[in-house]
Amino acid sequence: MFENIIVKTPGKSYLNGLTTSNLGKPVFEPLLEQHKLYVEALEKCGVTVTQLPASEEFPDSTFVEDAAVLTSDFAVITNPGAESRNGEIKEIESVLKGFYDKFYYIKSPGTLDGGDVLQAENHFYIGISERTNPEGARQLKEILEQEGNEATIIPLKEFFHLKTGIAYLGDNRMVVAGEFINHPAFESYEKIIIDQEDEYSANCIRVNDYVIIPKGYEKTKRKFNEAGYKTIELEMSEVQKHDGGLSCLSLRF
Ligand code: CIR
Distance CA 202, CA 98 (A): 32
- From the CA of 242, how far away is ligand 1's center (Å)? 7
The model's pLDDT over 147-170, given as tens digits with 9 standing for 90+, comes to 999 999 999 999 999 999 999 999
- Provide the pLDDT for residue 155: 98
- From the CA of 49, how far away is ligand 1's center (Å)? 21
- Provide the pLDDT for residue 126: 99
Is 77 within 8 Å of 93 (Cβ atoms)? yes
By three-state DSSP, how is residue 119 classified?
A: strand
- Provide the pLDDT for residue 183: 98
Where b means 16+ CB within 10 Å and e means fewer, 58-96 reads bbbbbbbbbbbbbbeeebbbbbbbeeebbebbebbbebb
Q: In 67-223, which ranges are E strands?
A: 68-70, 75-77, 103-105, 117-120, 123-128, 150-155, 166-170, 173-176, 190-193, 205-207, 210-214
Which residues carry out catalysis?
Answer: 161, 248
Q: Which atom of ligand 1 is nearest to the CA of 66?
A: 12
Is 130 within 8 Å of 160 (Cβ atoms)? yes
The alpha helices in the chain, defined as continuous H runs, are 28-44, 88-96, 134-146, 218-226, 237-240
Q: Is 241 in the pocket of ligand 1 (CB under 6 A)?
A: no
- Provide the pLDDT for residue 223: 98
* Preceding peptide of 109 cis, ω within 30°: yes
Per the confidence metrics, is the pTM higher than 0.85? yes
- From the CA of 226, how far away is ligand 1's center (Å)? 30
Q: Please, what is the Cα angle at 195 between 249 and 245, to 5 degrees?
A: 10
- From the CA of 118, how far away is ligand 1's center (Å)? 15
Q: Which atom of ligand 1 is nearest to the CA of 20?
A: 2
Q: Which atom of ligand 1 is nearest to the CA of 65?
A: 12
Q: Is 115 in the pocket of ligand 1 (CB under 6 A)?
A: yes
Q: Is 238 in the pocket of ligand 1 (CB under 6 A)?
A: no
- Provide the pLDDT for residue 25: 97
- Provide the pLDDT for residue 66: 98
Residue nearest atom 2 of ligand 1, based on CA coordinates: 18
Domains and CATH numbers, the chain: 4-252 (3.75.10.10)
- Provide the pLDDT for residue 34: 98
**Which positions of the chain have pLDDT values less than 50?**
none
- Provide the pLDDT for residue 154: 98
Distance CA 74, CA 233 (A): 31
